Amino acid sequence: MKQLPMVYHKKILVLGLAKSGTAAAEILHDLGAFVTVNDSKPFDENEHAQYLLSKGLTVICGSHPEDLLDEGFSLIVKNPGIPYTNTVIAEAKKRGIPVWTEVELAYRISDAPMIGITGSNGKTTTTTLIFEMLEAGNKQPLIAGNIGTVASAVAAKATNDNIIVTELSSFQLMGTEELKPKISVLMNLYEAHLDYHSSFQEYTDAKFNITKNQDHSDWFIYNGEQQIVKDYASKSNAKKIPFYVSKKTEEGISADDLYVYWNGKMLFERSIIALRGKHNLENVLASTAAAILLNCSLDSIVQVLTNFHGVKHRTQFVREWKNRKFYNDSKATNALATKSALEGFSEPVILLAGGVDRGHSFDELIPHLHNVKALIHYGATAERLQKFGEQQGIPAVIQVNNLIDAIAEGVRISAEGDVILLSPACASWDQYESFEIRGDEFIEQVLALKD
């Protein structure tokens, strides 16, 4: 771990705990800073605060006192979830106190080079694929950020023999100053998190921070088929590697219906890729490009792509049973995500959907329903999905009480060669606390099917 003279014997405020704030506070303490932590959760209910107090840090819990900043802090490290409209952060900005998120600290202390992955969709799958490819290529990768372990905790233990593969959200990237990944990846940009960011422009500018400090010794992998991403790429000083999923190109990494190409030369057949769908092809191309840049062998890349069936709850292949294939896409909490899942299948699909009714339209699904032979639905959106399915002429539209009943009905009406796909197009909160619990229920029920 690199030392940071700028924090040694300086007063530092860590605002918001949870895992990232706790890790940052402990690291800053180890670096010789005088650390104060402030969290809104009461001390008696706050295990993180109790732990840090036992380590000798100053702990203020239960509120954010108005005079908190009068201590003369040199730096604030905030939990990424705390918005910049927070009164403490807004006042810090007025006083000229630097405000970081924990990933900036991770970058500054790391002895290992970093790969940073961001985008509106596909971050987790791409991050996981890169990690798996580097591991297969014996590159000693570590995984961090929004996926896996807190980035600063990973960076504190990393050596220059490691490579840190880091998933980065807009929340994290907005609070960076010197972050400079060796390889940065920007998958795509769509409207998201506008409850946190003041505008789409602020959101996309935060994403661009992943390459803002890069120079010609670094690489920037980006979506060459999305204009807004191309516009941002034109501002990057890194060596640029675009990816294209719909045509062969002579630059970057690309794919047509049959092959994947690197700078126009065939790498491997698309048929070896286990992951389904155009959206996953974007993830495959971006991760393959990163692995090539880091000198992974083609054999190690192909090995991963042949065996990788997806991140849990994201078009995850669960099992084949009596020549029916089951996929868990519980992470699909809106129609756009379900559309992406449906794009990946040419087989007849029995779609299991439903959940919280957010009032969103299902119209994005319409061009992708041609092979949906049945829509089995449940939950708060049942009435709307029944009407939608009937209007679109889906052969069978069936309402049931819950997911367990939907699985049973899907199995009952299925035939050999069918895909049974959980892709709800809705949030889970009417019947499940999270999409993860919903997906776990699906996996458990499918694995319990008897031959």
Q: Tell me, yes or no, whether 137 and 56 share the same domain.
A: no
Give me the percent of the chain exceeding a pLDDT of 90. 84
The closest alpha carbon to 251, from 275, 230, 278, belongs to 230
Same domain, 303 and 179: yes
CATH code for the domain in which residue 117 is found: 3.40.1190.10
Query: Of 279, 307, 335, which residue is a domain's last?
Result: 307
Note whether 109 and 244 are same-domain residues. yes
What is the distance of C-alpha 379 from the center of its chain?
A: 26
Does residue 123 have a known ligand-binding role? yes
Place of tokens 């126009």: 264
Is 237 inside any structural domain?
Answer: yes
pLDDT, residue 66, reads 83
Within a domain: 3: no
Tens digit of each residue's pLDDT (9 = 90 or more) over 196-242: 777 889 999 999 999 999 999 999 999 999 999 999 999 999 999 99
What pLDDT does 400 receive? 97
Domain assignment present for 4: no
Domain membership of residue 291 (yes or no) is: yes
Q: How far apart are CA 267 and CA 297, in angstroms?
A: 11
113 and 257 inside one domain:
yes
300 lies in a domain? yes
Looking at the DSSP bridge assignments, the partners of residue 268 are: 260
Q: Are 323 and 417 in contact (CB under 8 A)?
A: yes
**CATH number of domain containing 441:** 3.90.190.20
Q: How many CA atoms lie within 13 A of 302 on its CB side?
A: 11
- Paired with 266 in beta bridges are 261
Q: Would you say residue 213 lies in a domain?
A: yes
Rg over CA atoms, the chain = 24
Per-residue pLDDT tens over the stretch 296-352? 999 999 999 999 988 889 889 999 999 999 999 998 888 888 998 998 899 999 999
Question: Rounded distance, CA 325 to CA 108, Å?
Answer: 46
**How far is the C-alpha of 234 from the C-alpha of 219, rounded, in Å?**
13
Residues 242 and 265 both lie in one domain: yes
pLDDT tens digit sequence for 252-278: 999 999 999 999 999 999 999 999 888
* Average of per-residue pLDDT across 89-100: 94
Does the pLDDT value for residue 194 go beyond 70?
A: no
- Same domain for 332 and 378, yes or no, is yes
State which of 281, 307, 333 marks the end of a domain.
307
Q: Beta strand 324-328 with 316-321: parallel, antiparallel or unpaired? A: antiparallel
* Residue 122 to residue 124: CA distance in whole angstroms: 6
Examine the domain organization and report whether 336 and 435 are in the same domain.
Answer: yes
| 197 domain residue, yes or no | yes
pLDDT, mean over the chain = 94
**What per-residue confidence (pLDDT) applies to 192?**
64
Does any domain span residue 6? Answer: no
What integer pLDDT is reported at residue 193 of this predicted model? 66
Q: Check the annotation: does 122 bind a ligand.
A: yes
Nearest to 48 by CA among 17, 20, 24: 17
What stretch of H or E contains 109? helix 102-109
Strands (E), 177-321: 183-186, 219-223, 239-244, 253-255, 259-262, 265-269, 316-321
Q: How many helices (H) and strands (E) does the chain have?
A: 15, 20
Q: Is 255 found in the same domain as 152?
A: yes
What is the tally of structural domains in the chain? 3
Give the model's pLDDT for residue 195: 66
379 is in an annotated binding site: no
233 and 111 both lie in a single domain: yes
Query: Is 387 marked within a binding site?
Result: no
| Annotated binding residue 21 | no
Q: In terms of domains, do 31 and 155 share one?
A: no
Check which CATH number belongs to the domain holding 23 and give it: 3.40.50.720
pTM equals 0.85
- Distance CA(49)–CA(36), nearest Å, equals 10
Q: Indicate if 342 and 298 belong to the same structural domain.
A: no
**Coil vs helix vs strand at 128:** helix
Write down which residue in 46, 78, 97 finishes a domain.
97
Q: Is-contact 295 108, C-beta < 8 A?
A: no
Task: Judge whether 315 is annotated as a binding position.
Answer: no
Say whether both 206 and 277 belong to one domain. yes
Average pLDDT over residues 86-90: 92
Which residue segment(s) compose the domain that 90 sits in? 11-97
Q: Is residue 166 annotated as involved in ligand binding?
A: no
Q: What is the pLDDT of residue 269?
A: 97
